[in-house]
Amino acid sequence: MDVERIFPKGLSVVSSYQDAKWVQDALNSYYVSGNRGLGFVIPIGFESYISIRRSNPEDNQNYSTSQEDCAEDLNKILDKFTSPEKSCFVAIWNGFGWSFEEEYGNFYNSKRSASNGFFTSENIFVPYFKTPFREYYLLKCPLFESSKFGRFKWKYFSKVPANIYWPESKEWFVSNEIDYDVTLIGGDEKLILEIEKSGKFITERFDPRKSGSEIYLAPPMVFTDSQTPDKSPIQIFWDAVTKHIPKRRIF
């Protein structure tokens, strides 16, 4: 029996990063400043911040096997705090080990490749959307479509929640950093309070200017070259992850 492919509606490729540059500027400037907080994965400047656990070893029912359920419940709350008729920017990491360009071949020319970007279906070269340690495909779609990305494998469709996404109107920002077991959200206090009081999540408030080691499964990962001069930034990043985060299945 064939499995139906879930495809986000209203999807488009972002080829100019002018309206998304504020995210790159915020994350990159925080990283190069040498601060050891979470400001290199979620922008500083929102009124309040909260994390949601995407897995919990003590509670198998709390999204431990279903990140997409977490995203869908969260999006229902985010929708109340999003300007109507506004699309969201959605970033998908290019390092999952499968070809995003082939999965979404209507938008990309997967037969042409480049180490620092991709080619659209019109053969236009676009560099990756870059943040500290990560390179992304940047797209736009309605909020509720942002949880419908994924891939086919062995006749099964596996959802892949967006790594980062935010509305054009910038009311909030969501970060699903690939090596964290938490979703990080920034927004105004009313939004964060509703997430906290919803009863659907295990949550924890945080300050992105403080060390990531102060919240659940988000160890600090910013190091200076002088500390490990013989290692690349990516190796430093991976060493920190494997040292502090217990082994687990990554979906």
Could you read off the pLDDT of 41-51 as tens digits, one per residue? 999 999 999 99
Residue 4 lies in a domain: no
What is residue 1's predicted lDDT score, i.e. its pLDDT? 45
Give the DSSP H or E segment for 133. none
Cα gap 136→100, rounded to integer Å: 10
Residue 122 lies in a domain: yes
Phi, psi (deg, nearest 5) at residue 158: -110, 120
Residue 93 lies in a domain: yes
| Residue-range definition of the domain harbouring residue 82 | 12-244
Cα gap 150→213, rounded to integer Å: 30
- Residue 150: count of CB within 10 angstroms of its CB: 18
Confidence class for position 130, pLDDT limits 50, 70, 90: very high
What is residue 238's predicted lDDT score, i.e. its pLDDT? 52
- Domain count within the chain: 1
Cβ neighbourhood burial of 110 (10 Å; 0-12, 13-18, 19+): middle
Tokens 């050891």 -> residue: 36
Q: Average pLDDT in the 175-197 region?
A: 94
Residue 249 lies in a domain: no
Residue 5 lies in a domain: no
What is residue 145's predicted lDDT score, i.e. its pLDDT? 93
Residue 232 tokens read as: 């690349």
Residue 6 lies in a domain: no
Closest CA to 240 of 249, 251, 227: 227
Cα gap 30→33, rounded to integer Å: 5
Q: What is the pLDDT of residues 70-104, one digit of tens each?
A: 888 999 999 999 998 789 999 999 998 889 999 89
Model's pTM, two decimal places?
0.81
Q: Average pLDDT in the 161-178 region?
A: 95
Closest CA to 53 of 224, 198, 242, 200: 200
Helix axis angle, 67-79 to 189-197, nearest 10°: 130
Cα gap 150→21, rounded to integer Å: 26
Closest CA to 183 of 157, 147, 218, 154: 218
Phi, psi (deg, nearest 5) at residue 103: -65, -35
Residue 238 tokens read as: 């991976």
What is residue 2's predicted lDDT score, i.e. its pLDDT? 53
Residue 170 lies in a domain: yes
Residue 1 lies in a domain: no
| Mean pLDDT (the chain, rounded) | 83
